[in-house]
Chains A and B, each alone.
Chain A
Amino acid sequence: MLDTKKVGSVMIVGGGVTGMQAALDLADSGYYVYLVEKSGAIGGAMAQLDKTFPTNDCSM
């Protein structure tokens, strides 16, 4: 692996809460990130929820 080329960018497939977290952490630590989302907006399933357990925090 030592001699192989390493490209400093990453593609993240899926713009839900998981993909967004991965994207933020990578962008924050020095990588160029492509976030690819199938639908018209990021947010994923969590944006559909009203509240979250176990704290009843607003999901949005």
Chain B
Amino acid sequence: MTLSEVTAVTGIAGDFDVTVKESPRYVDVDKCIACGACTDKCPKKVDSEYEAGTGKRKAIYVKYAQAVPLKYQIDPDSCIRLKKPGACGFCEKVCDADAINFDDTEKIHQINVGAVVLAPGFEAYDPTDAKVWGYGVNPNVITAMQLERYLSASGPTEGHLVRPSDGKPASKVAFLQCIGSRDENLCGNGYCSSVCCMYAIKEAVIAKDHVPGLQTTIFYMDMRTHGKDFDLYLERAKEESGVRFVRCRVNGVETDGAGGDLRLSYVNEDGRQIEEFYDVVVLSVGLQTPKHVLELAKNADIKLTADKFAATSDFSPVQTSREGIFTCGAIAGPKDIPQSVVEGSAAAAAVADLLAPARFEFTAEPSFPTEKDVSKEEPRIGVFVCHCGSNIAGVVDVEAVEEYASTLPDVVYVERNLFSCSQDTQDMIAKRIQEQNLNRIVIAACTPRTHEPLFRETLKAAGLNEYLVEMANIRNHNSWVHGATPDMATVKAKDLVRMAAAKVTYGDSLKPIGVSITQKGLVIGGGVAGLTSALNLAEQGFEVHLVERTETLGGNAMNLKHTWSGEHVVTQVTKLIERVLAHDKVIVHKEFSVTHVSGFVGNFISTITGKDGTTKVIEHGAGIVATGGDEYTPKEYNYDSITKVVTSVQFDKLFELKEKHVKQSRKFVFIQCVGSREGDSMYCSKVCCTHSVQSAIALKKENSERSVYILYRDMRTYAQREALYKEARQLGVIFINYELHGKPKVTENGSVIDVEVWDHVLHRPLKIAADMVILATAIRPKEDAAELGKLYKVPVDGHGFFQEAHAKLRPVDFSTDGMFVAGLAHYPKPIEESVAQALAASARAATLLSKKSISLDAIKATVDEDYCDGCALCVDVCPYHAITLVDKVGADGADGKIIVVNKAQCKGCGLCQGTCPKRGVYVAGFTMQQISAQIQAALAV
């Protein structure tokens, strides 16, 4: 439901009535074919929201070229006709589809649902009113979102970075961090927006890629690159891309002369006043909750934090103050894409927990018409050539391609489409298949990697086997890369169509492989993440086996005191353990570890071995790796020899026990990044800055006379944790910045510990005679993570943490189907992020476990019994151990051998096909005959 907003939520968890207001679109989505004729004729131009004001749109428009649904809409605030009846109306006149409806009205819907998930996102801070940065005055001051659009190939300048004032190529760009974040004076947003450091680095790197020789400087307070692989990215930006980083807060931006140059003044790290000149200044604007979301929060009756984000608990990070209403994404605090995606899945898990009894109440399996048997028919190929708007048609002579395609053997029908992927074209293709009795389809459009699934559905809807389609990639591999030589691009497009037609001619109807699913879960690791995952799956109604190597549940969390927001960890974790132990669907195996694994998605068989040598065999459909991490044991700062140098976790214990020395000590020094962000451990442990700040606050609160120093490289109290950093400063905690090349020196000097460090404010060395030194130690991956990884065929990264399938979009999935990851096993993170990830892993696992069977792609190795002579060369090369050799009695009665392929384990890679000397095995959909036909077609002219 687009153009819709929630205006009221009544009822209780499990049974809500939601009022949704749907604003008029003035375009009938069932009729609109997104041809764009209306936009061409529309005389009214306004700033495009999508282009963040860098480009224009018309009053009738689509949000962006790839919009879903790809349907036009009229903006009533700028449409001439809607403001003045009788005027204009050009769009209505040119619309062949008769889709324009100026009389469209607002609609109110009442919808009965069991739960509500709020994921309304954020808005970027608008720096116009703050004035000091010249935004809105000098056009060369832009926001980071505007720079994204300038850098985008689909943006207003097609990726060319120019000065907005005069279109001159930019040569010097400055990024100013913390605009609208960590700044209560100008904008009132005290929190850190968490994502701006990384996006600024990314934009600086990409901008340098676009403009050779471009100078980029990032002015920052603390470099907060705390996520997975972020510090490596930062180092590469410095070392390889040459992005310059300056630690300071720029006071203001002024226009210099009439040329549009910008003057920045700042105090550098040596205390000197510096002036520099730039072409473009990019404001790294923060994230904030927009007004309409505050309104939504009010309508949904949920509580907010002081920073105007949804209030949640660290142990149930997607649960709002109102039962049955959940949040995910930036509404509950600024966060990046992976964390938002994790929370999206986590909210799904929380909903499924609540609504488990009502699963499958309203869902129905999609039904398709009976498939036509085409095996006896001669090929009748239909070719559909896509314009992709102007993406293809702007370069390739699509009419010539159409004409050429009709001359190819077996091609009986050819048509061109503006967007082959649009819903109406899909329907049209299905209609043509039936009308023209087509039995093979070629779609000349974009890449099969994104669009083949869509066209397969189209074939299914038309009663044709879904594998009888082949795509010719005339966009990504042609029009986009040969824009300068349109004639040759047209020749190549014809070749690609010919190749696709040749291949599809030999295509067969293939059946997806059905795999039954063991509807049980296995969770490895009994820490907070594992406990959370197990409990959620059990609450969703699935039997779960929880395997814990030690004799206790709770993991690292049992050593912690408070979460950043002040919740008592051990109390909460103890409750969690009790709930897990009391749940009849969770089977806990303490002092067991996984020792052997066989099987595959839906049908894993894991053998676990106990400390006493006993083994158990567990069958499960999905598995969650939540094996946690370890605290680093420091080798630096004389930790070995000085007893009063302790780690953060040790200090917590001493402090809690009111140990005498801690009680009496007057001077405490915290040293950050011990074992993090250097050498082979170039990653941030994410939790230590907040941990030290919390400890420092506790020390100061207990006795304000104490001196507490925190020696840090960058304070990474990200998101709403910034409030703790502020509190610590207000309490008089002294923060001293050090750089990697000037690490503090710690030596024992009688009854005190001398800590020597360069004072970044006074610009001279400082010696602190400390009573106690606390080392903020790193989180390390489990040493045997890779071994476990091998059992389940899931990888670890360069640091030894488990590697997810995709950094942004599949943050808890492994590339091995049916396996998921959560918690410290994936990367260091605080408790609420572990809990969210654990819930997300459960939600992802539940998408499998809720089904009795799944169907897998039919692109699998297939044995040709006539040719396979059982030589078994393929058995060893198969990376998935999907091939086995079995006995066979030949036609002549002699004993022989032949291979069999386990289709559920086979990934269709075809290593067997490439190895087989006898053509005894082939991959369905990529047979030797099909590929040979493509080769021949490629070279036919």
Contacts and interface: CB of A to CB of B under 8 A. Distances in A.
Answer whether A and B touch in the complex at a CB cut-off of 8 Å: yes
Interface residues of A, number: 53
B121 A16 contact: yes
Interface string A20-52: 111001111111101111111111111111111
B386 interface: no
A37 B20 CA distance: 10
Interface string B839-862: 000011011001000000000000
B608 interface: no
B362 A29 contact: no
Contact of A6 (B14, B71, B206, B809): B14
B227 interface: yes
A48 B341 contact: no
B73 interface: yes
B455 interface: no
Interface of A: 1, 4-22, 25-32, 34-57, 60
Contacts of A5: 14-15
Interface centre among A13, A16, A60 (most CB of B within 10 A): A13
Interface centre among B71, B117, B199, B296 (most CB of A within 10 A): B117
Contact of B351 (A26, A34, A40): A26
Contacts of A30: 359-360, 363, 850
Given A48-B148, A53-B198, 7 more contacts: A4-B12, A10-B115, A31-B352, A38-B5, A38-B120, A43-B68, A50-B153
A4 B454 CA distance: 40
B357 interface: yes
Contact of A14 (B120, B337, B352, B360): B120
A8 B361 contact: yes
B135 to A, nearest CB: 18
B343 interface: yes
Contacts of A53: 198-199, 201-202, 230, 233
Contact of A22 (B14, B66, B119, B206): B119
Interface string B109-135: 001111111111110000000000000
B345 to A, nearest CB: 5
Contacts of A54: 198, 202, 227-230, 232-233, 807
A39 B66 CA distance: 14
Given A29-B359, A30-B360, A46-B337, A7 B206 contact: no
B100 interface: no
Contacts of A52: 202, 337, 808
B867 interface: no
Nearest to B1: A36
A50 B340 contact: no
A8 B63 contact: no
9 closest A-B pairs by beta carbon, nearest first, are A8-B361, A21-B344, A18-B329, A8-B358, A19-B119, A25-B348, A14-B119, A41-B67, A32-B362
Given A11-B6, A38-B292, A53-B233, A6 B357 contact: yes
B3 interface: yes
Interface string B289-311: 00010001000000000000000
7 contacts: A4-B13, A9-B361, A13-B6, A19-B328, A21-B328, A50-B149, A55-B807
